[in-house]
Structure 1
């Protein structure tokens, strides 16, 4: 699988249709919040999908459905407080500020991970990954699909450089070794299915100590 700067068309179509898993949707939504042009294209897809729904034969509903819906909306408009960010990282894009975060955990020299307490899908979950400037991760592959969106800083692989807003898709066919190339730490949000698998004999020795 080749690294991409934005999600594949198939993944964007699945997102527009609401067919992505919750963890993958969080990472794609983060990317779209940082890439307005791609977000507008996805909105167009959603509009087309809505137009198609208009052609479907309507199903019968209860006679009092409209009255009950309006009543519930009226009841919810009293003393509405502005939304409060759910976490302490005000620098995060809006889709991520809606979720609580776990504590930072050390996974290697100048490398830390933090759980994003978004809905999971089996072993697929969302994490924040922060790697210090000049640091290189061990060569690794993945048990499942890994979706990454860069929030700040930049890293480099054999596929090129990934900076803020860039999106990478990787799976078990990809063996890479990201290296932070920015003067600041590289902060990414990742939808990770399963665990990473470190390559080589050193990787096999370290594997029990690396849990994301």
Structure 2
């Protein structure tokens, strides 16, 4: 059984439960939920409280007898067929919540480091990415334009905030300057919601920055 040590804050879980997160952010939180019974229970409690509040605050409304049929007809006409016909990804080891998204090709980012895009709807500069980093490899020292949410899927890495293994969730922002190091004996696969670009720091980072766009 995977022991998850790093969980999203209550604010992130509340945003997930209320449906206010951007799609890439929600996908990372949902991936974490597939590992963490504690977070799943917290989200269930939040959803139950929200449902009770809605029931108390809204008066019942009548519906036309054919309302369901009309809604289903609109789904079929407005994209239901295209959604079911979307490409499947080629990574059966991913959590079920990610299996519905198509995946882009792997891109080489440096020795032992690759990434591929995940076809969750982007929201502005926020998009969803898979990173795969070989054992013993270090990511370049970097900070961020915006928020970066990470859920480890396999393997593990360490940085100044601690050690992160399968299911662990890390939030980084403009104030974070870190250098994750893969410390597992298998590649570390991470799901990342990235808002904006990473900013490489240090002398080497300034040289490599023009090539670091993701």
Assess same fold via TM > 0.5.
yes
Retained in 1: the 8 A contact 2:148–2:172?
yes
- For the pair 1:172 / 2:189, whether they are aligned, the reply is no
Partner of 1:9: 10
- For the pair 1:55 / 2:56, whether they are aligned, the reply is yes
**Per-residue deviation, 1:142:** 0.3
Partner of 2:39: 38
Residue deviations 1:87-119 (CA, integer Å, cap 9, x gap) = 110000011111000000011111001000101
Retained in 2: the 8 A contact 1:24–1:191?
yes
What 5-or-longer segments of structure 1 have no aligned partner?
77-81
Partner of 1:202: 204
**Per-residue deviation, 1:139:** 0.8
What 5-or-longer segments of structure 2 have no aligned partner?
76-83
Which TM-score applies when normalising by structure 2?
Answer: 0.88
**C-alpha distance in structure 2 between counterparts of 1:175 and 1:47, whole Å:** 38
Partner of 1:69: 68
Tell me the secondary structure at the aligned position of residue 55 of structure 1.
helix
Tell me the secondary structure at the aligned position of residue 87 of structure 1.
coil
Retained in 2: the 8 A contact 1:27–1:190?
yes
Retained in 2: the 8 A contact 1:13–1:42?
yes
Partner of 2:103: 101
**C-alpha distance in structure 1 between counterparts of 2:164 and 2:85, whole Å:** 32
**C-alpha distance in structure 2 between counterparts of 1:61 and 1:19, whole Å:** 27
**Per-residue deviation, 1:58:** 2.3
Q: Cα RMSD between the aligned structures?
A: 2.2
Partner of 1:79: none
Q: How many residues align?
A: 201
Residue deviations 1:128-174 (CA, integer Å, cap 9, x gap) = 00111000011100000000000000000011110000000000100
**Per-residue deviation, 1:125:** 0.2
Which TM-score applies when normalising by structure 1?
Answer: 0.88
Retained in 2: the 8 A contact 1:107–1:211?
no
Partner of 2:26: 25
